């Protein structure tokens, strides 16, 4: 099937099969009123394992709508399409019911249930549950909340998460988010990982913790992706986060495969079949388990107006428009980097991360929104992480698996040298030589898979945000970052709050777990990267981003471990942008 046909097929695929209008004074619908069964199994006791094993979830809240989700496993003797009842109320005891209706299960979407409930009251907490008439199975009670209208709230709290690798450890971060006072969870992608047992993220504790991936191999086909999502959604702490908080989600690359772009991916090989077939299967399953209120399932960029304070614009920086990443390896010769060729490719004005249509949409939203804060949900880092070229080369050598004690000692020596030169320059030392200055001022982008690899388009976004208060929320790197957003002229246009991962390893997977070495990495980046103000290179956590009409604040919260269950967090850094 051709790429265009596949995209069209996904676009036409309807996942939100149930639309329910809330009303006041609704009575709970008894199961016997749903319809009298004439099936052969009518009245028979259910057998086998059946129920709502993946829990419940809510997605894409607005001022009057929210999508409610569950998945039902039928009893082994249950024939025909199961009848599922949905109850929604404004109290946990369901004495004030606003919805009690039969909703359709979608056998073609892995027995998932998606219900878009409308006519809700803004800034209101709702309770919901799903029931089955034949088996008596009932889900846990979920909690969700609609978004406030302007004037109904003085602040907005967004818990920002990213990068949860099941094999890398326990999902304590999700448990901490469930315990938090966040209004909404913003998930920036890498909700699952595609690798097989023993692949990326595996630790010495993976097997003992019962965290080996299922299915055992790398996921490629439709049923593989479904099985992996079911495994992730079996996690108690992830289930609890979904049960208690509404989520707003976008995909990144690992929902498909590593370093994906519109036409391919680093981790897709010719012997794994057609890439577009794999991509379409992956995106279909994403919609089955993480429904979004979109009119075109291939286009998940959308925005949320919250209390007149936040205009949250969720982006697709991965699939819909991204051109293939450029790679330094393609520009190195026997004499070093072919700088003219690299710069020509890097600065190519036609290269895009968003695609023309999404960029036009984003520019319009930025220019027309009257919200106090324009907030981008961008999977990848938007701030410039430009580091001295010789440090980039040594970091690449270490990342390639050469983290020997000798090389790490050389790294620390190099960092000390460069930091000393940088400090002398900042102090106006007249003895700094041109050669020394060149060592710290000859810089290259650290990660070409991020916005740094698409600098021309980043300038277009910054230009569209002129006069606005801009905040980028980002994930992807597994590390925590706080940076300034600056344009090509060096003017600050906003700030970036980038979250650490839920469980995926950060720089400690490259540099080792020595506190001294990791402290050196953090020092090197914050001292030598002009736009970087904070880096945590080794802890797992999330960002609590709080927005008001006065300021935007970020609190980087970390769990102590992913090897034993603990949802306690400590605050590693707090900042405020006015």
Residue 123's CATH number: 2.60.40.380
Token pair of 125, please? 């907490």
Evaluate if residue 451 carries a pLDDT over 80. Answer: yes
Pairing of strands 386-388, 443-445: antiparallel
Model confidence pLDDT, tens digit, residues 452-476: 999 999 999 999 999 999 999 999 9
37 in a structural domain: yes
Residue-by-residue DSSP string for 18-75: EEEE--SSBPP--GGGT----STTTTPPP-SS-B-TT-EEEE---SS-EEEEEE-B--
Count structural domains, the chain: 2
Reduced to 3 states, what is the DSSP secondary structure of residue 144? Answer: strand
Angle at 213 between CA 212 and CA 217, to 5 degrees: 120
**Burial category of 49 from C-beta neighbours within 10 Å (exposed 0-12, middle 13-18, buried 19 and up):** exposed
Domain end position, chosen among 146, 179, 208: 146
From residue 232, give the alpha-carbon distance in Å to each of 80, 162, 166: 28, 14, 7
Find, among 263, 275, 277, 286, the residue nearest to 355 by Cα: 263
Angle at 250 between CA 248 and CA 256, to 5 degrees: 145
Confidence of residue 37 (pLDDT cuts 50, 70, 90): very low
From residue 437, give the alpha-carbon distance in Å to each of 115, 183, 331, 335, 502: 60, 47, 24, 22, 39
Model confidence pLDDT, tens digit, residues 129-152: 999 988 999 999 999 999 999 999
What's the gap between Cα 413 and its chain centre? 36
Top-confidence residue, 8 or 88 = 88
463 in a structural domain: no
36 in a structural domain: yes
Mean pLDDT on 271-276? 96
Distance CA 440, CA 388 (A): 5
Confidence of residue 33 (pLDDT cuts 50, 70, 90): very low
Distance CA 120, CA 123 (A): 9
φ, ψ dihedrals at 31, nearest 5°? -65, -30
Residues ≥6 apart with Cβ < 8 Å to 251: 189, 191, 283, 286, 290, 300, 316, 318, 319, 379
Token pair of 205, please? 């504790």
Domain end position, chosen among 115, 146, 177: 146
In this structure, how many other beta carbons lie within 10 angstroms of the beta carbon of residue 41?
A: 15
115 in a structural domain: yes
Q: What is the 3-state secondary structure (H, E, C) of 495-513?
A: EEEECCCCCCCCCHHHHCC
Predicted pLDDT of residue 42: 56
Tokens 């409610």 -> residue: 68
Reduced to 3 states, what is the DSSP secondary structure of residue 176? Answer: helix
81: preceding bond cis by omega (within 30 degrees): no
Predicted pLDDT of residue 1: 45
Q: What is the CA radius of gyration of the chain?
A: 25
Confidence of residue 14 (pLDDT cuts 50, 70, 90): low
Evaluate if residue 87 carries a pLDDT over 80. Answer: yes
Predicted pLDDT of residue 520: 86
Angle at 131 between CA 128 and CA 137, to 5 degrees: 125
Evaluate if residue 38 carries a pLDDT over 50. Answer: no
288 in a structural domain: no
Share of the chain above pLDDT 70, in %: 95
Find, among 180, 165, 208, 231, the residue nearest to 540 by Cα: 165
From residue 419, give the alpha-carbon distance in Å to each of 28, 140, 391, 434, 524: 68, 55, 11, 16, 7
Mean pLDDT on 326-347? 93
Mean pLDDT on 498-520? 93
Token pair of 267, please? 């981790």
Evaluate if residue 43 carries a pLDDT over 70. Answer: no
Evaluate if residue 338 carries a pLDDT over 90. Answer: yes
Distance CA 461, CA 474 (A): 15
Evaluate if residue 35 carries a pLDDT over 80. Answer: no
Pairing of strands 83-89, 125-132: antiparallel
Confidence of residue 412 (pLDDT cuts 50, 70, 90): confident
- CA 348, 349, 354, 355 torsion-angle sign: negative
Residues ≥6 apart with Cβ < 8 Å to 420: none
64 in a structural domain: yes
Q: Which residues of 426-443 are buried (b: 16+ CB within 10 A; e: fewer)?
A: eeeeeeeeeebeebbeeb
Q: Residue 425: give the domain boundaries.
A: 386-445+509-530
Q: For the chain, what is the mean pLDDT?
A: 94
Model confidence pLDDT, tens digit, residues 534-563: 999 999 999 999 999 999 999 999 999 999
Mean pLDDT on 367-371? 97
Mean pLDDT on 109-123? 97
Evaluate if residue 2 carries a pLDDT over 80. Answer: no
**What is the number of alpha carbons within 13 Å of residue 89 lying toward its C-beta?**
17
Model confidence pLDDT, tens digit, residues 150-202: 999 999 999 999 999 999 999 999 999 999 999 999 999 999 999 999 999 99
Model confidence pLDDT, tens digit, residues 46-76: 999 999 999 999 999 999 999 999 999 999 9
Distance CA 187, CA 248 (A): 6
From residue 181, give the alpha-carbon distance in Å to each of 22, 158, 184: 26, 9, 9
Mean pLDDT on 310-331? 96
Q: 433-440: list long-range contacts, CB under 8 Å, 24+ apart.
A: 439/388, 439/390, 440/388, 440/528
Reduced to 3 states, what is the DSSP secondary structure of residue 438? Answer: helix
Model confidence pLDDT, tens digit, residues 93-113: 999 999 999 998 988 999 999
Evaluate if residue 324 carries a pLDDT over 70. Answer: yes
Confidence of residue 206 (pLDDT cuts 50, 70, 90): very high
495 in a structural domain: no
φ, ψ dihedrals at 178, nearest 5°? -60, -35
For the chain, give the number of residues.
578
Evaluate if residue 433 carries a pLDDT over 80. Answer: yes
Domain end position, chosen among 89, 116, 146: 146
416 in a structural domain: yes
Distance CA 303, CA 89 (A): 27
Confidence of residue 44 (pLDDT cuts 50, 70, 90): confident
């Amino acid at each position: 099937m051709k790429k265009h046909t596949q995209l069209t097929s996904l676009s036409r695929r309807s996942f939100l099969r149930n639309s329910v209008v809330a009303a006041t004074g609704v009575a709970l619908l008894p199961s016997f009123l749903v319809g009298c069964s004439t099936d052969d199994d009518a009245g028979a006791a259910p057998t086998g394992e059946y129920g709502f094993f993946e829990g419940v979830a809510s997605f894409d809240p607005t001022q009057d709508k929210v999508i409610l989700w569950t998945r039902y496993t039928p009893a082994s003797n249950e024939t025909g399409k199961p009848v599922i009842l949905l109850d929604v109320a404004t109290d946990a005891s369901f004495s004030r019911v606003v919805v009690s209706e039969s909703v359709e299960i979608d056998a073609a979407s892995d027995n998932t249930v998606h219900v878009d409930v409308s006519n809700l009251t803004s800034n209101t907490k709702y309770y919901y549950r799903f029931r089955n008439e034949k088996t008596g199975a009932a889900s846990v009670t979920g909690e969700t909340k609609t978004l406030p209208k302007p004037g109904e709230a003085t602040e907005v709290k967004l818990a920002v998460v990213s990068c949860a690798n099941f094999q890398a450890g326990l999902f304590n971060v999700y448990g901490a988010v469930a315990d938090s006072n966040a209004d909404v969870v913003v998930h920036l992608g890498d909700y699952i990982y595609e690798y097989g047992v023993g692949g990326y993220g595996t630790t010495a504790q993976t097997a003992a913790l019962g965290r080996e991936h299922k299915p055992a191999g790398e996921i490629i086909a439709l049923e593989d992706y479904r099985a992996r999502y079911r495994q992730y959604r079996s996690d108690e702490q992830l289930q609890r986060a979904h049960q208690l908080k509404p989520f707003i989600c976008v995909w990144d690359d690992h929902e498909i495969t590593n370093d994906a772009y519109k036409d391919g991916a680093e981790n897709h090989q010719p012997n794994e079949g057609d890439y577009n077939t794999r991509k379409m299967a992956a995106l279909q399953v994403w919609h089955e388990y993480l429904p979004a209120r979109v009119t075109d399932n291939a286009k998940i960029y959308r925005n949320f107006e919250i209390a007149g304070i936040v205009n949250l614009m969720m982006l697709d920086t991965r699939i819909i428009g991204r051109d293939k990443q450029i790679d330094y390896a393609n520009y190195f010769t026997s004499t070093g980097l072919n700088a003219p060729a690299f710069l020509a490719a890097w600065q190519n004005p036609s290269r895009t991360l968003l695609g023309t249509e999404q960029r036009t949409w984003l520019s319009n939203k930025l220019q027309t929104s009257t919200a106090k804060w324009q907030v981008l949900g961008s999977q990848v880092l938007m701030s410039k992480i430009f580091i001295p070229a010789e440090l980039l080369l040594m970091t690449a050598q270490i990342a390639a698996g050469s983290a020997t004690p000798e090389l790490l000692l050389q790294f620390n020596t190099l960092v000390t040298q460069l930091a000393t030169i940088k400090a002398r320059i900042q102090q106006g030392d007249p003895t700094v030589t041109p050669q020394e200055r060149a060592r710290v001022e000859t810089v290259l982008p650290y990660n070409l898979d991020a916005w740094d690899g698409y600098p021309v388009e980043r300038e277009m976004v910054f230009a569209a945000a002129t006069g606005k208060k801009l905040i980028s929320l980002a994930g992807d790197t597994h590390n925590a970052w706080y940076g300034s957003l600056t344009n090509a002229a060096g003017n600050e246009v906003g700030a970036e709050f980038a979250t650490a991962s839920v469980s995926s390893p950060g720089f400690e997977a490259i540099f080792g777990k020595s506190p001294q070495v990791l402290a050196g990495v953090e020092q090197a980046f914050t001292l030598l990267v002009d736009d970087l103000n904070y880096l945590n290179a080794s802890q797992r956590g999330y960002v609590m981003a709080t927005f008001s009409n006065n300021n935007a604040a970020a609190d980087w919260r970390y769990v102590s471990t992913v090897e034993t269950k603990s949802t306690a967090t400590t605050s590693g850094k707090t900042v405020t942008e006015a």
